[in-house]
Amino acid sequence: MADLPIPANVTVDIYRTANPANPLPSGPPDVPQVPGYLKPSLQSGRYGSAQWLKWTHILIVPPATDVRDAYNTQLDPSRQNNNADTVVLTDSGGVNKTPFYVVFVEEAYRGTPLAQLRVYLDRFQPSAWPVDSL
């Protein structure tokens, strides 16, 4: 896997499919321990009128990363949202996990030293917030 064009600030696991009723997957990840750069992007992700393209974070990963979205078209009434991947971020203590729905994957700067995938994510609501960190 190629390197990131910027220093990583997270390592994530990628799971096939998404389940809003139970967003934290069990079992081994399909793509484990992917280095990435995660940044919040709530304000930018809520602009526009696109029905399905809403996101809270952007994750930059190496260009060969196997990460999948369910985007087909804005006009597709049979869209299968559960076909998108779930990205899971585990805290530095290895205890708390935050799942994200993969909204859209975009290839950027292909063929240059800055080559990357931009993964637009929508954070699922965590099952429990760490109370001691507030």
Task: Kindly state the tokens that stand for 122.
Answer: 């929508």
pLDDT of residue 76: 66
Q: What is the pLDDT of residue 128?
A: 59
3-state SS class at 87: strand
pLDDT at 134: 44
Q: Who contacts 9 (Cβ-Cβ below 8 Å, separation ≥6)?
A: 36, 37, 38
Task: At 60, give phi and psi (nearest 5°).
Answer: -100, 125
Residues 41-52 have a mean pLDDT of 66
Q: How many domains does the chain have?
A: 1
Domain membership of residue 4 (yes or no) is: no
* Residue 2: predicted pLDDT: 60
Could you report the per-residue pLDDT of 65-115, keeping only the tens digit for each?
999 998 876 666 667 778 899 999 988 777 888 999 999 999 999 999 999
104 in a structural domain: yes
Residue 3 lies in a domain: no
| Between 49 and 33, the higher pLDDT residue | 33
* Domain interval for residue 103: 10-129
Share of the chain above pLDDT 90, in %: 54
Comparing 53 with 87, the larger pLDDT belongs to 87
**Residue at 35 is within a domain:** yes
**What would the mean pLDDT of 17-21 be, rounded to a whole number?**
89
Mean pLDDT within 55-59 = 92
1 within some domain: no
Whether 5 is in a domain gets the answer no
